[in-house]
């Protein structure tokens, strides 16, 4: 029996909770991303932070796109998975020495740097290895992404990037350091952006900045607009593949590239979210006086997004055909925020049923923890079962 796209009998044989990745959907998503990128001349770097599962990484790397990393661990994992080092960018406000050294040893494309002290350290470590490190400066464009406060990054109050007024001096600073080469600008305003028009103020801010830099005689070879394209958590089956075309056409239309400039982007969530489902088993159904609870064996340790960001993930009972009823779907963790979804209408549920927590491929498995000394969730590609 299969329900929707789920091979129920095969899923039933696995120890829950676990992540189930639809490999065919992931492939189709990356192909669609690539086709739009080729059409509009974007160079995509998959944001490894969204999902660094080895098999997922390998599948994405096999399409030849680049990677965006935010730690030494991610750089090493990306190289191991087969991403070409010359397509790897490395961002992060707090890169430590070993991480910078690992990236230098891996011969990555560039460091997305965010502060003067960081530039000094990259210069010094590159010097010791007799290398020149390519630098893109991360600029804080002070553009509101209109998304959840915890995933907005491009405002002056955020810790990320270099403020616009300090940029010309910072570029001069890079140019004065022997082992660094200034190659471009990096931006990222936030994540889960569902209205493509939100990217227009970013494009306009970049155009304005480019005008000023051009007037000052600064050459910028690369523009990296970061990630941020959102997905439909409400209707994963109706929108399995995000609107890469709309996103890229909006940016192409509003961002005025200068001759010879290359345009990079760093999609994370949009690449992996819809292919991933957290499969969890119902341990107990508990009837309260006003509510009934489906207590499941996954918790906020397996998928923290609802607890951390009040995020909505659609939840379906994939093993029941009984008439729908309302349940609060909750985990077993000793925290009152360990709730996946309140008043969720799903098929009549009993102990042993499997629930599918949808759109969990991004920032799901990778953010799992061992709090309460729980085991980490398992993970399978559909092709493995
Ligand atoms: N580039 C940079 C510099 C970033 O900071 C991020 C995400 C990305 C690219 C990828 O963005 P995406 O395409 O996935 O929106 N844990 C949160 C999301 C945090 C995003 C952090 N930065 C969540 O579960 O919603």
pLDDT of residue 141: 86
pLDDT of residue 143: 86
In 3D, which of 244, 335, 328, 249 has the Cα closest to residue 294? Answer: 328
**Best mutation site among 269, 305, 369 for ligand 1 pocket (most ligand atoms within 8 Å of CB):** 269
- Taking CA atoms only, the protein residue closest to ligand 1 atom 22 is 191
Task: Give the separation between CA 285 and CA 293, rounded to whole angstroms.
Answer: 6
Coil, helix or strand at residue 383: helix
Give the count of alpha carbons within 13 A of 66, CB side only: 23
pLDDT bin (cut points 50, 70, 90) of residue 339 is very high
Structure tokens that stand for 90 in this block: 């490395």
pLDDT of residue 1: 45
Q: For ligand 1, what atom is nearest to the CA of residue 269?
A: 14
DSSP 98-145: HHHHHHHHTT-SEEEE--HHHHHHHHHHHHHTT--EEEEEEEE-----
Number of residues written out for the chain: 385
Task: Give the separation between CA 323 and CA 279, rounded to whole angstroms.
Answer: 21
CA of 23 to the centre of ligand 1 (A): 22
Q: Which residues approach ligand 1 with their CB closer than 6 A? A: 47, 49-50, 68, 91, 151, 153, 188, 191-192, 226-229, 266-270, 305, 309, 363
Exposed e or buried b for every residue in 214-245, given b needs 16+ CB within 10 A? eeeebebebbbbbbbbbbbbeebeeebbbbbb
21: which residues sit within 8 A by CB, 6+ positions away? 53, 55, 56, 275, 276, 277, 361, 379, 380, 381, 382
**Best mutation site among 44, 184, 191 for ligand 1 pocket (most ligand atoms within 8 Å of CB):** 191
Q: What is the pLDDT of residues 75-92, one digit of tens each?
A: 999 999 999 999 999 999
pLDDT of residue 165: 87
- Taking CA atoms only, the protein residue closest to ligand 1 atom 24 is 363
- Whether 328 and 342 have beta carbons less than 8 Å apart is answered as yes
- Whether 275 and 309 have beta carbons less than 8 Å apart is answered as no
Q: For ligand 1, what atom is nearest to the CA of residue 191?
A: 15
pLDDT of residue 40: 97
Helix (H) or strand (E) holding 80: helix 72-81
Exposed e or buried b for every residue in 260-275, given b needs 16+ CB within 10 A? ebebbbbbbbbbbbbb
pLDDT bin (cut points 50, 70, 90) of residue 160 is confident
DSSP 34-51: HHHHHHHTEEEEEEGGG-
- Whether 18 and 279 have beta carbons less than 8 Å apart is answered as yes
Count other C-beta atoms under 10 Å from residue 348's C-beta: 14
Task: Give the separation between CA 383 and CA 242, rounded to whole angstroms.
Answer: 22
CA of 269 to the centre of ligand 1 (A): 7
CA of 89 to the centre of ligand 1 (A): 14
CA of 46 to the centre of ligand 1 (A): 11
The average pLDDT across 312-335 equals 97
Q: How far is Cα of residue 184 from the mean position of the Cα atoms in its chain?
A: 22
2: pLDDT strictly greater than 60: no
CA of 41 to the centre of ligand 1 (A): 22
CA of 268 to the centre of ligand 1 (A): 6
DSSP class of 374: P
- Whether 68 and 96 have beta carbons less than 8 Å apart is answered as no
Q: What is the pLDDT of residues 126-148, one digit of tens each?
A: 999 999 999 999 998 888 777 66
């Amino acid at each position: 029996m299969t329900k929707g796209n789920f091979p129920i009998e095969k899923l039933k044989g696995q120890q829950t909770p676990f992540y189930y990745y639809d490999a065919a959907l992931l492939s189709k998503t990356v192909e669609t991303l690539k086709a739009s990128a080729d059409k509009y001349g974007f160079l995509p770097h998959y944001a490894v932070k969204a999902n660094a599962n080895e098999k997922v990484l390998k599948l994405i790397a096999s399409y030849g796109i680049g990677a965006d990393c935010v730690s030494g661990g991610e750089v090493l994992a990306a190289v191991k998975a087969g991403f070409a080092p010359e397509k790897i960018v490395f961002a992060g406000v707090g890169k430590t020495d070993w991480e910078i050294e690992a990236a230098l040893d891996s011969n990555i494309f560039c460091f997305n740097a965010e502060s003067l002290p960081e530039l000094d350290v990259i210069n010094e470590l590159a010097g010791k290895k007799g290398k020149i490190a390519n630098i893109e400066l991360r600029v804080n464009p002070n553009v509101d992404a209109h998304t959840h406060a915890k995933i907005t990054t491009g405002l002056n109050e955020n810790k990320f990037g270099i403020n616009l007024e300090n940029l010309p001096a910072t570029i001069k600073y890079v140019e004065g350091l022997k082992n660094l080469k200034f190659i471009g600008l990096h931006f990222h305003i936030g994540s889960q952006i569902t209205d493509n028009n939100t990217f227009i103020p970013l494009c306009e801010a970049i155009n304005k900045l480019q005008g000023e830099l051009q007037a000052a005689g600064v050459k910028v070879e690369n523009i990296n607009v970061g990630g941020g394209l959102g997905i439909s958590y409400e209707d994963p089956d109706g929108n399995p593949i995000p609107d890469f075309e709309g996103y890229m056409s909006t940016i192409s239309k509003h961002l005025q590239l200068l001759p010879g400039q290359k345009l990079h982007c760093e999609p994370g969530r949009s690449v992996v979210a819809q292919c991933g489902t957290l499969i969890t088993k119902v341990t107990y159904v508990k009837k309260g006086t006003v509510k009934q609870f489906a207590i499941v064996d996954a918790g906020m340790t397996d998928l923290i997004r609802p607890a951390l960001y009040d995020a909505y993930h659609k939840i379906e009972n994939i093993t029941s055909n009984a008439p729908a009823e309302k349940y609060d779907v909750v985990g077993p963790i000793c925290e009152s925020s360990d709730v996946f979804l309140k008043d969720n209408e799903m098929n009549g549920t009993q102990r042993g049923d499997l629930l599918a927590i949808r759109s969990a491929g991004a920032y799901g498995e990778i953010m799992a923890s061992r709090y309460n000394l729980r085991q980490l969730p398992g993970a399978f590609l559909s092709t493995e079962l």
